[in-house]
């Protein structure tokens, strides 16, 4: 599998073969995204467990494997390798004591190709890193938890999933959590989410619609890179920074709305957006990374609302001094009275046609 190398070498990404991953999460599809934070309730279930033969700390109900984490809590750490459909229990009973299941451990269902559907109750507050990574036949996930963190690569490469509706109560989406969702067509991120990790939706090539709430304050590195089905995106007013490669290679993107709250646009943020014809840089942007609009081949109009030309910054100190734009044939629209300063400031001075609005 290709790694997220867009920012390590933004030029090289033009020759990288698009990832053939089809991970999408119909998951969470039964969950409510309404403000009542109720979600979809998964039926509470209690199972009795026995010790795993040859282990001094693992328990099993012959389907899942558990470990105790405290005097009254437990976590799912594995499975019997043949699970097809499963509802994670709310409680397990061991030695006459009841333990609440609060976590799905990292790699608990890693590359379990038999798995087709999962229901997760509201007792679970954490889905660990790579918990369902590579469950290539997983078609349905139902989640009813109100406060949950989704770990790094948690649902990556679940090829058969096709849509995501995250319940209001999800607080963070980890790095690469839904990477490679090429079958995914829409995402609504609820208002409870404050953090979306690097590359969380990288390579979701079928994605045509994204709803990002005001609670999100930054679009991280490569978050929506290679979402080639996206045609438009509105970045909410809570966002202050757009990370390196955030929307790189979104080749179907024709329009982007950047709010005044944004102060920095990262390197390669919109590189290779081949259908982007115009961009407005709002008046609070202080810095723009190199290659930010590289290879935007039909970009004709750039509207600058900021009176002081933004500083151009490198992607990293060792990367070099690449251009922000592939060429300077577009018309640069600047605020009234600002043509002179733009004409003297590199790289804005490279534009052949600078006009005052």
Least-confidence region, from 78-87, 159-168, 201-210, 307-316: 159-168
Say what the pLDDT of residue 82 is.
94
Which residue is listed with tokens 């080749």? 251
Annotate 67-122 with DSSP letters as a single string: EE-SSSEEEEEEE-S---EEE--SEEEETTEEEEEEEE-TTTTTT-TT--EEEE-T
Q: Has this prediction a pTM greater than 0.85? A: no
The DSSP symbol for 40 reads: P
| Alpha carbon distance 273, 275 (integer Å) | 6
- Residue 35 or 125, more confident: 125
Cα–Cα distance list, 70 to 75, 102, 123 (Å): 10, 11, 15
Q: Give percent of the chain with pLDDT exceeding 70.
A: 84
Cα–Cα distance list, 180 to 131, 203, 273 (Å): 16, 4, 19
- Residue 62 or 144, more confident: 62
Say what the pLDDT of residue 315 is.
66
Specify whether the CB–CB gap between 74 and 82 falls below 8 A.
no
Q: Quick one: CA torsion of 50, 53, 54, 58, rounded to 10 degrees? A: -30
Mean pLDDT of the chain: 85
């Amino acid at each position: 599998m290709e790694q997220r190398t867009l920012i390590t070498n933004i030029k090289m990404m033009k020759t990288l073969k698009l990832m053939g991953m089809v991970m999408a999460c119909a998951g969470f599809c039964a969950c409510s995204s309404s403000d009542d934070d109720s979600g979809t309730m998964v039926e509470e279930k209690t199972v009795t467990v026995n010790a795993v033969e040859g282990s001094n700390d693992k328990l099993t109900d012959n389907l899942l494997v558990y470990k105790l984490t405290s005097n009254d809590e437990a976590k799912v750490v594995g499975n019997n390798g043949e699970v097809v459909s499963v509802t994670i229990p709310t409680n397990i009973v061991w030695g006459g004591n009841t333990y609440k299941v609060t976590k799905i451990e990292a790699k608990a269902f890693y590359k379990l190709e038999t798995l087709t559907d999962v229901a997760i109750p509201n007792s679970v507050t954490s889905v660990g890193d790579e918990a369902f990574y590579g469950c290539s036949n997983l078609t349905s996930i139902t989640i009813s938890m109100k406060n949950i963190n989704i770990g790094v690569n948690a649902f990556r490469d679940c090829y058969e999933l096709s849509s995501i509706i995250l319940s209001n109560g999800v607080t963070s989406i980890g790095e690469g959590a839904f990477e490679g969702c090429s079958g995914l067509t829409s995402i609504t991120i609820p208002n409870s989410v404050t953090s979306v990790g690097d590359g969380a939706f990288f390579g979701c090539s079928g994605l045509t619609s994204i709803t990002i709430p005001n609670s999100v304050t930054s679009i991280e590195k490569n978050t929506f890179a290679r979402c080639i089905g996206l045609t438009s995106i509105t970045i909410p007013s809570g966002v202050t920074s757009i990370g390196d490669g955030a929307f790189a290679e979104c080749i179907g993107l024709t329009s982007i709305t950047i709010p005044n709250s944004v102060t920095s646009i990262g390197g390669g943020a919109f590189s290779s957006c081949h259908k982007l014809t115009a961009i407005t840089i709002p008046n609070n942007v202080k810095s723009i990374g190199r290659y930010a609009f590289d290879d935007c081949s039909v970009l004709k109009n750039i509207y600058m609302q900021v009176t002081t030309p933004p500083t151009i910054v490198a992607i990293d100190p060792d990367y070099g001094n690449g251009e922000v734009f592939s060429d300077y044939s577009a018309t640069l629209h600047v605020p009234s009275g600002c043509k002179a300063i733009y004409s003297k400031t590199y790289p804005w001075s490279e534009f052949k046609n600078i006009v005052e609005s």
